[in-house]
Amino acid sequence: MKSKYLIIGSGQLGQELINLLNNDVEYTYHTMDPFNRGAYLDITNFDLLEDHIIKTMPEIIINTAALTDVDKCETDRNIALKINGEAVKHIIRAARVLGSYVVQISTDYVFDGEKGLYKEDDLVNPINYYGLTKLIGESYALSYDDSLVIRTSGIFRHKGFIPFVFSRLMNEKEINAYKGYYSPISAKKLAEAIVKLTEKRKTGIINVAGERISRYDLTIEIAKLLNKNPIIKEVDNVPSWIAKRPYDSSLDISKAKAILDFDFYSLKENLKYVVIK
């Protein structure tokens, strides 16, 4: 019997979705197989990508695969475009054959950061190549009527800014925190929201993210949870960054809140997932 779900990618979000969906899911991996039952797939091999989807025959496809290293996207544009953009075109091609429902995970970086608290219908204007490739992926997904684009922000689990801060605090090291704002959310909470939205078979674009906060203020909140009193410096930029970052890419999540009947978005609850556990 075919599985209801096919998860493409088994990173932080993919793993939480697999945990949540349990036996009703098949998944692909590229770098490592976290549960030792996935199918290896290089999504830049587009023929194999389409073949795998068609052979799997899923009712629902959730594409979590992405090159999310913003600086690597800037320096290796060819692979960034293939993974974040062109692969989505081929996922949609296979979905059309099967009549599958597709969920494409996108990013707050499709916006320029001049405004903040972006709604789904606000003007997109990416300022780095990562954001551009994700926007291209969105356009392919939205060309198919039975698709949902979920824009999110600052996903964290065992990787990301929040675990980085946690590690620095526990080792009593100074922290440089960027002034910019975003809407971080744990991979677990995001996965729960995604499954609920697939059950409702929503289409179009929906923002699913956490509360608007600066990385500086977030660092202070984490320090409070851990009863630490570190040296925290608020910085305008990070010298090692190659790509530009939007100053305020926070997302307005009122649409998701109206659709979903429970709260995924409490900053305290999101922090507890990594900091306390």
Name 113's Cβ contacts closer than 8 Å, sequence gap at least 6: 127, 180, 245, 246, 247, 248, 249
Which among 73, 185, 81 is positioned nearest to 139, based on CA atoms?
A: 81
Shortest CA distance to 234 belongs to which of 247, 249, 252?
247
Half-sphere CA count of 177, side-chain side, radius 13 A: 29
Residues 6+ apart with CB under 8 A from 70: 109, 128, 130, 241, 243, 245
Active-site residues, by number, are 130
CA distance 19 to 114: 37
Burial of 145 (0-12, 13-18, 19+ CB in 10 A): exposed
Hey, what amino acid is at 204?
A: G
